[in-house]
Structures are given as structure tokens and as C-alpha cells.
Amino acid sequence: MRRSEIHAIKDWTLANGFLGYQDLTEYPRHNNVYAPQHTPPRERTVVDLRVETAGKKSKVAIVYEDVPLQKIPELDSVRNANQIMDDANIYRVMVLRDPFNMFASRLRMVRQDIQNGKPSAIQKIPLEESVGLWKDYAREVISQGETLSEISPDGTLVLIEYNKWVSDPQYRNSLMSGFFNEENNQDIGIEKIPKRFESTWDYRTFDGNAAEMRTGERWMQMSDDPEFRSIFNDGELVELMRNALFEQIQGTAQVVNIFPTSEN
């Protein structure tokens, strides 16, 4: 989902995994491969995404955001992913960020775009639909990939909890050694702000010092906002958050009690 910080994780993965492959500046990146909210709607096929490696080892990153979970296996770029690059090892990576900070950032982005008169795809997704997407993604993490594992051979589905990734070097090390063929994670680029995907709060102020950004405290700026607060009237969302990564969200032990749930 947008504002799950998937682009930071994408760049970190490309920079640190499979280091015998081409230089980082040469890696193709395709963002929003399936985006029906765009004008015009977008769905790139394997023909659009084809990478000719000329016998060289290479990497390609293909990013999907705000796509219903059940839709993903139907996409041409997923069903026929082996046609994008010859002899490729395909990894499917799913990123989940806690709903407090993700929805705070999404609401801020939508409001900024409206204020600036900037049409954007994220404005076309109702808040209720966004909440439903997050809940589906959370269930997928809790089930260890019940849906995506059907299209991912053993050992190629990577479920990443953003909150843990950004705060825990040992977690990043385990991801790199467990999936991306590098026993010695160097955290190259971990302090960089992804180009074209700057923070909705700090913009590029912390580029080179990204660890100083308070990505776990964005919700504090929205804690009195009625629209933001309404998200947590959904008792199912709160319960999924507890099951998926509640203990890893900084400061929410008391915050959840502030927001009423449908069970109260």
C-alpha cells in the first residue's frame, strides 16, 4: 500500500542483496505496474517489462501498491513473471506497516494533493476501501502468505514488517541472509530517502540521515483528527493489528485504549 515505505525497502534490497550483480544505477525499477486508479488506468504486461540482460547477471524490481490481494495472481506480470527476464529467480516481497502511521501518512498525502490541486490516484481510493486492503494484507502476514504462497515456490515469499525493518538491524540481517543471498548485510543506502518517494512529513530533509525520521510517531500529528480516529472504530482492524505487529508499534500500548473500538 502507498505509504507503507515499500520503496525504501525496495532500494535497500537491490543495494544489498545479490551483490555480484550489476551496479545499483543499472537496476530497472517499475513502480505502480497495476494501477486502475491512474488516468488512464495502467496495467503493464510482461512485454512492457521485459529486460534483456545480454548474458549479464541483473536485478529488476516490480512494485504493486493498493492492489487487492486476490487480484495479484491474475495479473499478467505475475502469472508470466518468468518471461520478464531469462533464467530469473523470482522473489515476491510483501511489506506491512502499522495502520496508525500508514494511515496518518496516507491522509496527509491525500489532503496535500487536494490542497495543491494535484490529481492523484490515491485520492480515488475511499478510506473504507483502504482500511479493507490493510486488513487483507494483515491477514496474509498472520497466515504466513496463505494467498501469495500459492504463486511462490518455497523460500521465495518474503513477508516484511516495516516497523521491525526500520528499527532492528538484526531483523534486516536475517532477511538478507535468509532470502537475498548475502550473509553480511552492509545496509547500503539505509540512510537514503528514495528518489521521487520523499516523506510526506519531512520531504528530503533527512536524506543521508533517514534513521532520524520519526516514522513510528506520525500518528501523533493526527491523534485528534476525527477522520483518522474513525479508522480505529473498526474492531477487526485493531485486533488484526494486535495479532500482526502490535507489540512492535512504538507507543501504541496506551494509544489503542484512547480509540474506541466497535466492541466497546
Q: Which residue has the higher pLDDT, 27 or 134?
A: 134
pLDDT average, residue stretch 84-101: 90
The H or E element spanning position 160 is strand 157-161
Instruction: Answer yes or no: are the C-beta atoms of 244 and 159 closer than 8 Å.
Output: no
The whole-angstrom distance between residue 95's C-alpha and the CA centroid of its chain comes to: 4
The whole-number pLDDT of residue 223 equals 81
Model confidence at 67: pLDDT above 80: yes
The whole-number pLDDT of residue 138 equals 92
pLDDT average, residue stretch 112-141: 89
Q: What is the pLDDT of residues 107-121, one digit of tens each?
A: 988 898 888 888 778
Distance CA 3, CA 103 (A): 8
Distance CA 120, CA 134 (A): 20
221-230 long-range contacts (CB < 8 A, ≥24 apart) are 221/104, 221/108, 222/103, 222/104, 222/107, 222/108, 223/255, 223/258, 225/107, 227/107, 227/127, 228/103, 228/104, 228/107, 229/259
Model confidence at 158: pLDDT above 90: yes
Q: What is the pLDDT of residues 182-227, one digit of tens each?
A: 888 888 777 665 555 444 544 444 455 545 456 567 788 888 888 9
* Identity of the amino acid at 120: S
Distance CA 84, CA 53 (A): 10
Distance CA 60, CA 73 (A): 19
Model confidence at 136: pLDDT above 90: yes
